[in-house]
Amino acid sequence: MTDTHQKLMNEAYDRWQKEGDLGGLNYNEFISRLDKPHRNAVLLGNLNYQVQNGGFRQWVGNGYATEAHQILDLLKKIGTETALKVSNMIEQLMPFLEEGLTSRGFCGSYWVEEETEETCCECDGTGEMEEEYEEDDEIFERTERCPYCGGSGYVSGEREPSFEGTSLAESLDNQYYDLDKQFMQEVESFLNGEMLVKATSKPEAPKKKPRVKLIGKDGNAFFILGTVSSALKKNGQKDLAKAFREEATSGDYNHLLQTAMKYVDVY
């Protein structure tokens, strides 16, 4: 990887490793918080690293294909013949990618997963279990709440997304290896151009958190999700609105409230 590209990636990941900045975010949240040069460097750098290391199948399986749409837009902006060839490879894989998934993390926690709710196999979904107990040398049965599902009849789990494009991905790998050096040189030129534009432009003032009135309003979870998302979008932060919804819906109601206060000023 060339100098500017590697420098931008190092700076981005240094921020991810620091608590209080980008630390602890999943990959998609991490990407959404980066400025344009660092975001583009990370997206293209991870594409190259993953395909070089284990082919397009690894790029998909390790969660980086969750940003495929952004990468396609970026490759069109680069606009070179090589970049458009890489774009064509990814477009061929798009029908095999599941939409709407998020990457839980990276650097050791790659797998893309989604939460599932399945019938508890211990109680067959009844939420109850028969338990034997002894009293006065006699055996009795009593009904207890199932300890495995807490009485709900369902248990939460996670699954890895299916990917039926393995054969196609493998056929594209050698095509990528034939042009990756040229591609990385063109990426370097593109990133250098972005850094030049950034250096000669006035820095944008960081956007303040939008203020959202939730106290005394409807406490329904869907109302909170919609109100906070709308406020972020009106504040010109569509990427944050998406990240908010993904993070807010990954836990219980208390987690939703805490996440809302993280993204907006609640009053």
Q: What is the pLDDT of residue 16?
A: 77
Let me know whether 21 and 33 are in one domain: yes
Distance CA 221, CA 231 (A): 16
pLDDT in tens, 64-104: 888 999 999 999 999 999 999 999 999 999 998 876 666 65
Q: What is the pLDDT of residue 107?
A: 41
Residue 52 carries which side chain, given as an amino acid letter? Answer: Q
Let me know whether 143 and 213 are in one domain: no
Residue for token pair 């460097």: 41
pTM of the full structure: 0.58
Q: Are 42 and 34 in contact (CB under 8 A)?
A: yes
Q: Which helix (H) or strand (E) holds 230?
A: helix 221-234
Q: If you average pLDDT over residues 100-120, what whole number do you get?
A: 56
Neighbours of 253 (CB within 10 A): 11
Q: Measured on CA atoms in the order 14, 17, 22, 28, is the torsion positive or negative?
A: positive
Let me know whether 7 and 96 are in one domain: yes
Let me know whether 133 and 244 are in one domain: no
Let me know whether 194 and 215 are in one domain: no
Residue 17 has pLDDT above 50, yes or no: yes
- How many distinct structural domains can be found in the chain? 3
Let me know whether 98 and 137 are in one domain: no
Q: What is the DSSP string of 157-179?
A: EEEPPP---HHHHHHHHHHHHHH
Q: Measured on CA atoms in the order 165, 166, 170, 173, is the torsion positive or negative?
A: positive
Q: What is the pLDDT of residue 85?
A: 96
Q: What is the pLDDT of residue 76?
A: 94
Please report which confidence band the pLDDT of residue 15 belongs to, taking 50, 70 and 90 as the band edges: confident
Residue for token pair 């709900």: 152
Let me know whether 182 and 232 are in one domain: no
Q: Measured on CA atoms in the order 260, 223, 28, 253, is the torsion positive or negative?
A: positive
Inter-CA distances, 220 with 115, 164, 224, 234, 254, Å:
22, 39, 6, 21, 12
The DSSP 8-state label assigned to residue 112 in this structure reads B
pLDDT in tens, 247-257: 888 888 888 88
Neighbours of 120 (CB within 10 A): 20
Let me know whether 212 and 108 are in one domain: no
Please report which confidence band the pLDDT of residue 50 belongs to, taking 50, 70 and 90 as the band edges: very high
Let me know whether 8 and 95 are in one domain: yes
Domain boundaries, position 67: 1-112+162-204
Let me know whether 103 and 33 are in one domain: yes
Give the residue with greater pLDDT, 60 vs 136: 60
Let me know whether 122 and 85 are in one domain: no
Let me know whether 105 and 192 are in one domain: yes
Distance CA 155, CA 148 (A): 8
Q: What is the DSSP string of 75-98?
A: HHHH--HHHHHHHHHHHHHGGGSP
Tokens of 100: 């709407």
